[in-house]
Amino acid sequence: MTKVTLTVNGRRMSADCDDRTILVNFIRDKLALTGTHVGCDTTQCGACVVHMDGKSVKSCSVLAVQANGSEITTIEGVAADGELHPVQAAFKENHGLQCGFCTPGMVMTSIDMIRRHGGQLDEATVRHELEGNICRCTGYHNIVKSVLSAAADMNAKQAAE
């Protein structure tokens, strides 16, 4: 057993785990943050995406011990002051979800995508960037629409500041 200490959603958290424990299971089972979903355990579906040290990662591809000392943001940590993150709000407004299983990973991937591209996105870029996230319900149309809407909203707010 190894003690792993992370800063998760702004809070320092520690727990003991086996050296083979993957980060997604550590987050869900040891830290009781169940918004991050376990899909395939093989990095193909994207349901487990979190931000580690500011970048999106598939948490099923990282051992918890590898993340020791890192700053992690999960889906539970993106809303602020009772307000949905602009990407979460756009998914809600544009019907970018159906069953909701892939939604946390889609939202986390989209937040990072918007940050990396400075909000300058087009449909082709969004579709390409989301290739690592699988949705079996929506056909992606409203997910892409949601990401583009969020990017536009975030750009407008930034320009107004």
Q: Which residues of the chain have pLDDT under 70?
A: none
Q: Are residues 60 and 94 in the same domain?
A: no
pLDDT reported for residue 37: 96
Decide: helix, strand or coil at residue 131: helix
- For position 41, which CATH number holds? 3.10.20.30
Let me know the angle formed at the C-alpha of 10 by 57 and 161, rounded to the nearest 5 degrees.
90
pLDDT reported for residue 160: 86
pLDDT reported for residue 9: 98
Return d(Cα 59, Cα 46) in angstroms, integer.
9
pLDDT reported for residue 137: 87
Q: Are residues 56 and 112 in the same domain?
A: no
Percent of the chain with pLDDT over 90: 88
pLDDT reported for residue 161: 81
Number of domains in the chain: 2
Would strands 49-52 and 71-73 be described as parallel, antiparallel, or unpaired?
Answer: antiparallel
- Residue 55 has φ and ψ, to the nearest 5°, of -125, 145
pLDDT reported for residue 119: 79
- Examine residue 140 and state whether it is found in any structural domain, yes or no: yes
Instruction: State CA 103 to chain mean position distance.
Output: 8
Q: Which of 30, 56, 76 is the last residue of a domain?
A: 76
Q: Are residues 147 and 98 in the same domain?
A: yes
Q: Taking a C-beta distance cutoff of 8 angstroms, is the pair 58, 49 a contact?
A: yes
Range of the domain at 47: 2-76
